[in-house]
Structures are given as structure tokens and as C-alpha cells.
Amino acid sequence: MFAVIKTGGKQYRVAANDLLKIEKLEAAVGDMVEIGHVLAHGEGENVTFGAPFVDGAMVTAEVVEQGKNRTVIAFKKRRRQNSRRKIGHRQLLTTVRISEILLGGAKPTKTAAVKAPKKVEAEAATEVQAEVAPKKEPKAKAAETKAAETAAAPLFKAPKGEPDDLTVIKGIGPVAAKDLNEQGIITFAQLAKLTDKDVAKIDEHMPFSADQIKDWREQAKELAAK
């Protein structure tokens, strides 16, 4: 049996056990997700179409991987005006494995691979290590706490004073401005002073390409000089 689903504004023809890359879903690797927008389903020549969606139909899938698509470059040039702009975009993607195609309001029967045994084994191994070397346990906990704090800390330290409206820069919308603010970038001066190393850091940890960030940096230099 196959189904035609809609997610992320796109349509996909899927069957059980298919691997599919779709626009990012807010789920962790190993989670089961439900896609209720089923446009059609069938087997062979017998196909049922929805209006627009099939009532009671649903597709379940397991999240396999979270990643990014390749960078897409948009280049604009205005003839005889000495104007050139190059913007890059990397779409966040989620790889899923189709689990079941459910009809008539049926409930999912498959679940993600059980991870509890691994967790139990890990906890047991930790307990054994703690018994063997109890003196090292405080250091291990301190290292874990420090790593968690580092992961939660913003990429840059926000300066004191009033923030600038980053949406003035072409290519930065409200969502992108919010993401930059959360990572400590709140002024034109900060964007203007980004080094190539800083650009690479943002490209690695945020959904913005290096070319995109460099374009914002050039615009920020002009705004910061005013």
C-alpha cells in the first residue's frame, strides 16, 4: 500500500519502510511522528483521494536523522547599477523511515526501537565504575555539568545598551533576528566586526550559511558607520 502525504508544503508518495528527507520536524532521533495530512492512499489501481485529506488516515514514521541540506545560492545583479547580492540558504532536514499507513482512524501498532535497555546498561556500567573508582565521580559530574552549561550558553556575549533592529538588514527577518539575539548578536556593530572564524562558528551552530552571514556583515558595516 502507498500513500501521498503533505508535510512542509510539499507532497510525497510513500510506502512502508521508505526513507524520506523532509523539512525539519521538532523531534529527537528515535521518536515516532504522526503525519495526518494524507491526500490519497491505495494499492495497485485502487486509489482513494481525499477532499483535500482522507478522513481517518494517518502515516507514522520514525525519526532517523536531523541534518541540513546543501547550500543554495541566490545571486542578484542589477544591470548598470553596480549592484550585486549573493545570499545562501541551508534548509534544515529530517530523515524519517515510514512505519505504517493507517486508515479508518486506526491507532499505531509500531513504536520506536526500545532504548531503555541501553540506558539501564549505561546506568549499570556507571554504577560499576563508581564502585571501582568512587573518587572520580565528582569530577565526572562536574565535567558533565560544565559541558551542559557550555551547550546552553550563547555563541557570543551581548554588549550592554539598547539593541539594534536587525531586521533593517536585507535577508534578516523577525525569526532570524530572534535567533541571532538569542546567540548574543544584538547590534549592527557586532555583525560588522564578525571575523571569518565567527562566521564559521555561526554556520556550524545556526541555520545560516557563511555567504549569507558575510552579506549581512557587509550591510552591517554601512549601518554601523551611520
For residue 160, tell me if it sits in a domain.
Answer: no
Residue 187 has pLDDT above 70, yes or no: yes
Residues composing the chain: 226
For residue 161, tell me if it sits in a domain.
Answer: no
For residue 107, tell me if it sits in a domain.
Answer: no
The number of domains in the chain is 3
Tens of pLDDT, residue by residue over 70-122, are: 888 888 888 887 888 888 888 899 999 999 999 988 888 877 554 444 454 55
Q: Give the per-residue pLDDT at 117.
A: 47
Q: Give the per-residue pLDDT at 19.
A: 92
> One-letter amino acid identity for 136?
K
Q: Give the per-residue pLDDT at 36.
A: 87
For residue 159, tell me if it sits in a domain.
Answer: no
Question: Quick one: 71 and 12 in the same domain?
Answer: yes
Query: φ and ψ at 10, to 5 degrees?
Result: -125, 160
CATH of the domain at 192: 1.10.150
Query: DSSP string covering 136-199, please?
Result: GHHHHHHHHHHHHHHHHS-SSPPPSSPPP-GGGSTT--HHHHHHHHHTT--SHHHHHT--HHHH
Find the range with the poorest average confidence among 117-131, 171-185, 201-215: 117-131
Q: Give the per-residue pLDDT at 114.
A: 47
Residue position matching grid coordinates 573508582 = 133
**Angle between helix 210-224 and 196-205 (nearest 10):** 130
Question: Quick one: 97 and 176 in the same domain?
Answer: no
Confidence category of residue 150, pLDDT binned at 50, 70, 90: very low
For residue 109, tell me if it sits in a domain.
Answer: no
Tens of pLDDT, residue by residue over 203-217, are: 888 888 888 889 989
Q: Which of 116, 10, 14 is nearest to 61 (CA)?
A: 14
Owning domain of residue 66: 2-102
For residue 70, give the DSSP letter.
P
For residue 138, tell me if it sits in a domain.
Answer: yes
2-7: strand order across its sheet: 10-15, 2-7, 38-43, 46-49
The pTM assigned to this predicted structure is: 0.46
Residue position matching grid coordinates 495497485 = 44
